Amino acid sequence: MFDSKEFSVSIGTIVEELKLKKLYYTEEMDEIKVVCSNVNRPGLQLVGFFEYFDGDRIQVIGKAETAYMAELSSQERKERIDHLFGAGIPAVIVTRDMEPSSEMFHAAEKYGVPLLSTTDNTSRFMSELIRRLSVWLAPRITRHGVLVEVYGEGMLILGESGVGKSEAAIELLKRGHRLVADDAVEIKKVSNQSLVGESPAIIKHYIELRGIGIVNVKNIFGMGAVKDTEKIDLVVKLEQWKNGYEYDRMGMENEYTEILDIKVPQLTIPVRQGRNLAVILEVAAMNNRQKRMGYNAADELYQRLNESMGLE
């Protein structure tokens, strides 16, 4: 199991990525760490209810909270805002570009809490903030392999060194598909059903070809040949062809592998001279999409055979 609090993102990164306005902010606040992907609208806290309150969450104040505080006396407003800001929260963000009360500015300064604002409305901003935090704070591992997008399917190609992963990726690029990562793939668990892969920043858009060396895919094939991130829909394991080994020829049994506790469909494809690996991988991507949409060619053929023999 993975603890989300093993990972963090700085307030500085959040401010930069979401283009937030700094209302009360010091340079040291750039290094404040956010460790929780959930956010909170502190309506209950502003009426004094702090049971089950999670101080690790970013607090988002919208129109309703602002209107409620405007009805309070200055003393009541000060006490409740002080209680909220003094609870160890990482930041407060005001939506709709509304002007915070003077009590909020004083509490931000008193407790060293970043006070930020956005022009976006509350629901839309919270949705985007949670989406970003889910990616930034996702449990992650690094796998040796190649990640490509083929017909919209994220395909993670694994196999021993020298089996031809990068060569297959280059052929796919020539056929109009896109490279996400070569050699090292950083995989993040962004939800209980979804894995997203990307390249480490230092080797992004580069691919290694034995006999040639390092190639910059973006420069050679153009911007359309690369992608920064991609979900992982299928794992393809390449291995050298073994004479006498019985490989699956029907595809009746679905094979899966687990990555970060998520089951992902997996295929094992033997490699030998004369096989057009790029075409095989294209077909694998299209067939995987059909299976996800509820159609399985092997099941259909099996049903036809049964019907032809008069079997139910």
pLDDT value for 78: 95
Residues 3-14: what's their mean pLDDT? 80
Q: What percent of the chain has pLDDT over 70?
A: 94
Q: How many residues does the chain have?
A: 312
Distances (CA, A) of 67 to 17, 43, 101, 181: 28, 11, 11, 48
Residues 244-248: what's their mean pLDDT? 66
Query: Is the C-alpha dihedral spanning 278, 279, 282, 288 positive or negative?
Result: negative
pLDDT value for 262: 95
CA 306 to chain centre: 43
The model's pTM is 0.76
Domains in the chain: ranges and CATH: 4-136 (3.40.1390.20), 140-301 (3.40.50.300)
pLDDT in tens, 120-143: 999 999 999 999 999 899 999 999
Residues 227, 197 contacting (CB under 8 angstroms): no
Lowest mean pLDDT, pick from 87-96, 121-130, 240-249: 240-249
Nearest to 111 by CA among 180, 29, 192: 29
pLDDT in tens, 298-308: 777 777 877 77
pLDDT value for 2: 41
pLDDT value for 308: 78
Active site residues: 144, 165, 183, 249
pLDDT value for 124: 96
CA–CA gap between residue 130 and residue 104 (Å, rounded): 24
pLDDT in tens, 194-234: 999 999 999 999 998 888 899 999 999 999 999 999 999 99
**Cα–Cα–Cα angle for 192, 132, 198, nearest 5°?**
75
CA 20 to chain centre: 22
Q: Is 104 exposed, middle or buried (0-12, 13-18, 19+ CB in 10 A)?
A: buried
Residue 215, phi then psi, degrees to nearest 5: -125, 135
pLDDT higher than 70, residue 79: yes
pLDDT value for 306: 77
